[in-house]
A and B are shown apart, each in its own frame.
Chain A
Amino acid sequence: MRAGSVKDGSMSTAPTATTAAMEMRRAPATEKAIAPAPKVLFATLMKDLRLEWRSKDAINSMVFFALLVVVVFSFSFDPTGDDARRIAGGLIWVAFLFAAVVALGQTWAREIRNQVLDAYRVSTAPANDLFLAKALGNFLFVTVLEVVMTPLFVVFYNLRVIGPAYLLPVIAVLGTWALVVNGTFFAAISLRTRSREVMLPLILFPISIPALLGMVEATKIVLTGESSAKFWIVLLAVYDLVFTTVCLTLFETVLDAE
């Protein structure tokens, strides 16, 4: 492949054929000016994942951070036997929350560093696709952290699940989405405030308390097998539904708050 040899001043002598070719293609573009929804979402998500995979520094540092959180938690609380199961639910989710908040803080880091949000806003792409792509990206990112952290918790607290273990992934998915959807939205809000990093958890935590309560209680119930976690799982599902809708209705207003 040719080395990046750029023919300087080649533009002025650019063969008229290329410009003519460019000109001739005028007609088809204007019809498709408005982007069909899923393509933009998918393109944005893939772009983020590709850049993430290419640099990998964010994911590595975050995974190491997650490990640290687990180890620190394991030192500060050293329950044995039945106790472990009762409070493990709370510990695991607080650890996940801690890692998630740090990851969520980076949601818009690349867009801000490259100052490309204007490029998105000036295009015909709908704002909600950008939001959903970012939220899904965060969801995958946080899920990777959770997958890394969970076995460690099981080992450090030698947990054995008494209740229906298949419910745990359901709780994890619903709970993570509850944090991620609001977190991505509030990260966009805190972009425009003075102390960005502190603002995100500050507005995310109070609103997430019901969801946190749901995750912790559901996990504890499943671990100890005491009663049925159905109520909490339904609550988390409704919470996800309501707040995803609220995010999608208000995101454009916040993105364009110039």
Chain B
Amino acid sequence: MNPIPFLYAAYIVTWVIHGVFILTLITRYRKADRELRDFQKK
């Protein structure tokens, strides 16, 4: 069993996890921002 793919898998998985987290941060931030702007408009 060739171990090298596991090395790349580990590095890639690390950035997939961080990427997903950053995406959730952005979507949650946009949602809160929109909610705030709606209130200021009202």
Chain A directly contacts chain B within the complex, with at least one CB pair under 8 Å: no
